[in-house]
Chains A and B, each alone.
Chain A
């Protein structure tokens, strides 16, 4: 009898607790469209997908699974390893029971902050503002794997570690810097240029730059980090950008550039097409280079990385920018991308070239 009372009390406490939590999640503050959207992203930030989905207006084509994939990512894309950091909302239009809002989202990722701007429609449903979710555009038919039989290079290393003077070893591939330009930008010095793999084997290249003063002394040393496509196949060209913060071009007499290149195993797949490239203004009036990425083979690309090289009228490289795409590329499915272009250079850009670098979970 006494045990039964204790069980009843514990059960009652659990039910009260559960009821409180449930009430809290359902009665989120949604008095205005803006607070509703903020609350929605608070749930997304905490990855409380059920609570976030509860704020979505039910309708045709709205499925929880695709909703979670849309916001949380899938196929080992960059989104799957990102965390929502900050949300800024803005009302675009408001009329009675409907509102259009813009959310500027900042995601923190392993490769730096990722910005996303999304527009939402909210409707007032019996006193609660609900989000009208637009499901992501579906591609024609389900993705199907396509076999590819592209070339792959492997490097067979010598097993012995003893000194082998004069023994022939395979050299690293021949890389050549085909253009270079030093500019001043945002209180620093930036070195821009392009490097080509002139060899018949793939190589991994890093550009190291040293700024020298008038006496030939080193002022600063930096490398291209991720502003380059490191793995270059034969005859492949990559832009590079090396940033030196808090430096003045007037203090620099010369720049010593030294590419470090090694022979690496690589595969010739996947081939990524870059379609519908165009420079346009985003809703905030910033110049953006947009396009769509499509893999032409049968391989999924988990994290695409877009590098854009901008040229002036004389063909000189005047800027290099890059951007990561938070969605994975499935075979033959187009994924949009956008890369910033400096507004002060937009008028000077006569030509541009896009290269796609990628990181795959199974890439060796």
Chain B
């Protein structure tokens, strides 16, 4: 088996860096979490239409979107699909549940730490049962195999989120990451 010397050296160095980073990852995540505004969600309704967003609806969406991120983070970290029902419905719930099921099988998990969210309501249906928002946020994402961090990255991400009114409660039905232009 022929292995180049330089390749071996760089692999060893990079592995060392990865190990250092893996051990420091919790501190990094805490540092991000400690940033002012981390995880906070403020919703702007400027430009929303065709229906004007009622104050109570705006508050409800803020509350539910905060809950959605919190529940999704906990569900993907602990592989618990039962945490999804409070904030997700339909294909989005199925999508997350499927991912959790696969994570369980492979013994992996995902950790998210979301920063401040800049959210704009872009559509509120005339009859008031569906609402679409565009969210721009920075997220720290870690893929873990057991307790070993396989990959960690921080990205600025934009989401299109559709909320629908389900039995008097707003729930996330679609949450789709958009390609960065």
Contact = CB atoms under 8 A, between A and B. Distances in A.
- Decide if A and B touch, CB cutoff 8 A: yes
Interface in A162-206: 163, 165
A361 to B, nearest CB: 32
Interface residues on A, range: under 10
A165 B90 CA distance: 8
B111 interface: no
Judged by DSSP, the binding face of B is: strand
Contacts of B166: 163
Interface string B87-119: 001100000000000000000000000000000
Interface string B54-88: 00000000000000000000000000000000000
Contacts of B164: 165
Contacts of A163: 89-90, 166
A163 B173 CA distance: 11
A106 B173 CA distance: 57
Contacts, number: 7
Judged by DSSP, the binding face of A is: loop
Nearest to B174: A165
Interface in A137-169: 163, 165
Contacts of A165: 89-90, 164, 173
B73 to A, nearest CB: 23
A163 B93 CA distance: 11
Interface in B108-138: none
A163 B164 CA distance: 11
Nearest to B56: A256
Contacts of B89: 163, 165
B168 to A, nearest CB: 10
A165 B163 CA distance: 11
Nearest to B127: A171
A165 B171 CA distance: 12
A163 B90 CA distance: 7
A165 B93 CA distance: 13
Contacts of B173: 165
A175 to B, nearest CB: 16
Interface string B159-178: 00000101000000100000
A163 B89 CA distance: 8
A128 B90 CA distance: 81
A155 B118 CA distance: 44
A165 B173 CA distance: 9
A163 B166 CA distance: 9
Nearest to A165: B90
Nearest to B164: A165
A238 to B, nearest CB: 24
A165 B89 CA distance: 10
B163 to A, nearest CB: 12
A142 B62 CA distance: 67
Contacts of B90: 163, 165
A271 B90 CA distance: 46
A165 B174 CA distance: 12
Nearest to A256: B56
B2 to A, nearest CB: 58
Interface string A20-56: 0000000000000000000000000000000000000
A163 to B, nearest CB: 5
A163 B167 CA distance: 11
Nearest to B55: A216
A49 B6 CA distance: 112
Nearest to B162: A165
Interface in A317-333: none
A259 B164 CA distance: 22
A14 B158 CA distance: 94
Nearest to A162: B90
B116 to A, nearest CB: 27
A165 B166 CA distance: 9
B41 to A, nearest CB: 22
Nearest to A216: B55
A31 B58 CA distance: 76
A71 B96 CA distance: 67
Interface string A211-230: 00000000000000000000
Nearest to B94: A163
Nearest to B173: A165
Interface of B: 89-90, 164, 166, 173
7 contacts: A163-B89, A163-B90, A163-B166, A165-B89, A165-B90, A165-B164, A165-B173
7 closest Cβ contacts across the A-B interface? A163-B90, A165-B90, A163-B89, A165-B164, A165-B173, A163-B166, A165-B89
